[in-house]
A and B are shown apart, each in its own frame.
Chain A
Amino acid sequence: MESITSSESTRLIATALAIGIGGMAPALAIGWLAAKAMEAIGRNPEASGKVQSAMILGMAFAEAIAIYALVIALIIKFIA
């Protein structure tokens, strides 16, 4: 097995940290959104269509932050 240089190992650690830490806040955000949406539907089942659409929209914004973190991780790993 060839040994990896220290810069290569730093890159691997940086990649893992980027997506690991970057995924924490969006995960919380999406969970909160879903929880509040479920509360709202529970209180008012008739409005479930509107609540659902708004929830999906909000989740897309929150997930985008996680995607940014993933793209940075990929850039670190594959493009210097």
Chain B
Amino acid sequence: MHISLAAEKIIEIGPVAITNTMIVSWVVILLLSTISILVFRNLKEVPGKLQNFWEFIIEAILGMIENVTADRKKAEKMLPLVATFFIFIITANWIGLIPGFETIGRWEVLEGEKVLIPYLRPPAADLNTTLALAIISVVAIQIFGFGYLGFKYIKKFINFKGPIQFFVGILEIISEFAKIISFSFRLFGNIFAGAVLLAVISFLIPAIAALPFYGLELFVGFVQALVFAMLTTVFIYVATQSHEEH
């Protein structure tokens, strides 16, 4: 059995290599864009089934953001980013459970042994994808901070009021980088470990023993999407809090 931490390259177009996770990411983007366009092409007062379903998801996410911020206007400003994170990540995770992922591929000889290079792999099982999402999230947090607090946001990091405040500022800068690492590795670790778990269980006892683990992966995929979106919400809320000194 061959487990590869890095995503496997399928085609190389000149200097750019296309990995299997990239292909699946594009499929997810196409799928979500198609559904969105279908919903928005004719919006009705009394919604049809697809529009109803989409409205339910958006309202649920808006409610979750409002729970954190208690401010409807702020919640509506944060909604596009947070909802995109949630819907993209949950679709990317769940699409990786379709049979055929990590099993359909071509055989290659790597270091003397014959390994299977799968054509399909869950996008979040690639550190590049999760790192990209994490960087987008943390940069967006800073943009929201500057947007709501103006230039005073920099006082969170560079604060000369005293030695302790200066140190706290440095710690805050380090903490932002820790957020990038934490976001990316949490999502990567969960989804990659899930894919490896399914592969190992299926290797030991084909077909039947993997069923409860598919249930676990459905749950984990949902929870990781929820956690990514919620943590982004919470961090944006904290960043846009004005520090009213007593």
Contacts and interface: CB of A to CB of B under 8 A. Distances in A.
Given A75-B5, A78-B3, A78-B5, A57 B227 contact: yes
Interface stretch (B115-123, B160-168, B185-193): B185-193
B182 interface: yes
A70 to B, nearest CB: 5
A62 B189 CA distance: 13
Interface residues of B, number: 19
Question: Of B3, B186, B230, which is in contact with the most chain A CB atoms at under 10 Å from its CB?
Answer: B186
Given A64-B186, A78-B3, 13 more contacts: A53-B67, A53-B230, A56-B223, A56-B226, A56-B227, A57-B227, A57-B230, A60-B231, A67-B190, A71-B188, A74-B5, A74-B192, A78-B5
Contacts of A71: 185, 188-189
The binding surface of chain A is classed by DSSP as helix
A4 interface: no
Interface in B213-230: 223, 226-227, 230
Contacts of B227: 56-57, 60
25 contacts: A50-B67, A53-B64, A53-B67, A53-B230, A56-B223, A56-B227, A56-B230, A57-B227, A57-B230, A57-B231, A60-B227, A63-B186, A63-B190, A64-B185, A67-B186, A67-B189, A67-B190, A68-B185, A68-B189, A74-B5, A74-B192, A75-B5, A78-B4, A78-B5, A79-B5
Nearest to B233: A57
Interface string A46-80: 00001001001100100110011011001100110
Contacts of B185: 64, 67-68, 71
Interface string B67-104: 10000000000000000000000000000000000000
Contact of A70 (B64, B182, B189, B234): B189
A25 to B, nearest CB: 16
Interface residues of A, number: 15
Interface of B: 3-5, 64, 67, 182, 185-186, 188-190, 192-193, 223, 226-227, 230-231, 234
A63 B50 CA distance: 35
Contacts of A70: 189, 193
A35 to B, nearest CB: 19
Nearest to B68: A53
Nearest to A63: B186
A78 B111 CA distance: 14
A68 B3 CA distance: 18
Contacts of B223: 56, 60
Contacts of A53: 64, 67, 230
Contacts of B189: 64, 67-68, 70-71
A64 B238 CA distance: 20
B186 A60 contact: yes
